[in-house]
Structure 1
């Protein structure tokens, strides 16, 4: 690898005002150090965002992209991530002291390969804004990228079709059969008994949904729905007049329903005939997000003068990893 050193300011200056290396790159395009695998270098290479800014983006993404906050997020080094999932334990049996021990069954493995795509954002700023010493360039850039990424991620983790993007959990096939007989990769849905409505007793339907999830998965389980569905459920009461919905008493903590946290995801469908408008499950065990750790940025001051465009990319994938860990409430007669 050839190193072409043009200038080398202090490399830990991502937070240093006025002299940071990345700050200089964002404001004026100053080249710090170029790495290339060939003998030639150019101005078309990507620059990794410093760790401090990358962490800031991840924090905003977790807050703005609700599924990311409850799913299993893994950092990968390439786009070819694979995960093995066992669909059954090792069978065992009882025997007397002198009985023969016949061969028992062996566990079955399924390979999970989350579909991946390149998430990108194209924020722009005028050169005058970048030249203003009072303007926090790094905070602006991180905020712009996080807002764009969170919007795209929120949709993909719920309804993504898996083509050059994650496959959302709502795109998985569903069946009314239980875990013992349902095919791997198929989520279980529980019909409400009434098309487009909760039926005579919505509270009982929610209890059925909770209890359909086996006990090992209920530890850490979460309700997922959009705001319109949450507004309807918040009005449900028990026979003695108590609300099922318990608002949070601590800032930053989610409200609870039947003792479980509620996460609002605006990409979830509304209550309608045949829709799966409420999800309940342990998303940490049921949904996998795989992403490259680096967010790369290209600075383009030429294409749209007097604006400077920053082209940011990050590879993200996702899919259901355990179809037993997520259940859906289907608003249908059967």
Structure 2
């Protein structure tokens, strides 16, 4: 029995217990008490098996970084191993960097940060040392929705240069330019010319502005914590919104926009409502080879519809996960994530089925920070 079946069985037993207690206003009969205890044994057994599956999954993660019963594996990061400790620019913390930018640095450490930027330090900003920049991005990635599942290409030696890569062209009527034919022994083989298209990833820039007090900047430990949280959260939200809904103009192209030529739209049985058949039709229209790596993204406005969905046998196809145990919420056995970035209920995109390993993210240079007391600094 897999994780989803165990969770469904457990939920069904708990519901049955609740029904028994609702009928016991005048007290429990011997039969009702027996049935309740039998259900409790069933729940305990489910808990035991769930714990065993969790242990198997934990062992598998340590072994090869995957997940046995979930599809929420780590992102595919093409990042070479770096030798030695990461550069901290001679600073102990991000707060110390911020303090130096605001009040100056007698040790001259800022000169190295300014030298890495093509603009003047006072107007173009200072590049945050690699150690702190990576820490911010790593903290943010834990809260990120899209990045952990996508194909992430590291910054590289020329972080802000466009990158081009060839890809087989699978647009309609051009199946990669490959002709497939069964032939008899000795028969002439069909000619095939692979058809390639060019994929170009261009750097985009995102900027944020925040007003702070001198008191906070003078407290390096406090400013490290506060600015670290603010920056990582801002980066995550800006990225996720663009990766889903970005129009590609000055920002990434989102997969939910009309610019995505691979997007399929499945018509609903009933407008403004999600049914089990709608979800099944989405899966039927999806490339079958992509299903094992795919996840559902849903607007929180359709949560009530999703919770009520049942299959032909009356089993709930929506199973609430447990984040404390690393168990994802699932729909039809596939991980489901609720967002505030999907279209609202009844609009195209309120429920999405995606294989994000097909989504490319190219990282650029790190985070630049500059400060000024001038009102028109923005």
TM-score by length of 1: 0.72
Partner in structure 1 of residue 166 of structure 2: 84
Whether the 8 Å CA contact 2:160–2:203 is kept in 1: the answer is: no
Q: Which residue of 2 aligns with 1:122?
A: 209
Listed as ranges, the matches of 1:87-166 within 5 Å are 87=170, 88-89=175-176, 90-102=178-190, 104-114=191-201, 116-132=203-219, 135-166=221-252
| Structure 1 residue 114, shift from structure 2 partner | 4.2
More helix by share: 2
Q: How many pairs does the alignment contain?
A: 277
Aligned pairs (5 A) from 1:55-94: 55-76=134-155, 77-86=159-168, 87=170, 88-89=175-176, 90-94=178-182
Mean Cα deviation higher: 83-92 or 151-160: 83-92
For 1:255-266, what aligned pairs fall within 5 Å after superposition? 255-266=329-340
Q: CA deviation at 1:17?
A: 9.8
Name the CA distance, whole Å, in 2 between partners of 1:196 and 1:11.
53
Cα distance in 2 between the residues matched to 1:98 and 1:43: 74
- Residue of structure 2 in register with 1:25 after alignment: 100
> Structure 2 matches for 1:313-332, cutoff 5 A?
none
Asked which structure has the greater CA Rg, the reply is: 2
Work out the CA distance in 2 between the residues paired with 1:218 and 1:288. Answer: 18
Q: How does 1:1-334 map to 2 (within 5 A)?
A: 13-15=90-92, 22=97, 24-26=99-101, 28-30=103-105, 31-34=108-111, 36=115, 43-76=122-155, 77-86=159-168, 87=170, 88-89=175-176, 90-102=178-190, 104-114=191-201, 116-132=203-219, 135-172=221-258, 185-198=261-274, 202-251=275-324, 252-272=326-346, 275-285=348-358, 287-300=359-372, 302-304=373-375
In structure 2, the CA distance between the partners of 1:137 and 1:269, relative to structure 1 (3 Å rule), is same
CA distance in 2, matches of 1:223, 1:105: 37
Q: Name the CA shift for 1:241/1:166 in 2 (closer, same or farther; >3 Å).
A: same
Give the C-alpha shift of residue 48 in structure 1.
1.8
Deviation at 1:136, TM superposition (A): 2.4
Higher RCO (CA-CA < 8 Å; seq separation 6+): 1
Gapped regions of structure 1 (runs ≥ 5) = 1-9, 175-184, 312-334
C-alpha RMSD of the superposition: 3.2
Shift of 1:270: 1.4
TM-score, normalised by the number of residues in structure 2: 0.64
Contact 1:115 1:165 in 2 (8 A): no
**Offset at 1:130?**
1.6
CA offsets, 1:209-241, max 9 Å, x none?
123222221121000111112332012123443
Q: 1:186 to 1:218 in 2, by over 3 A?
A: closer
Task: Report if aligned partners of 2:93, 2:224 keep a CA contact under 8 Å in 1.
Answer: no
**Cα distance change, pair 114–11 in 1 and its aligned pair in 2 (3 A):** closer
- Unpaired runs of 5+ in structure 2? 1-86
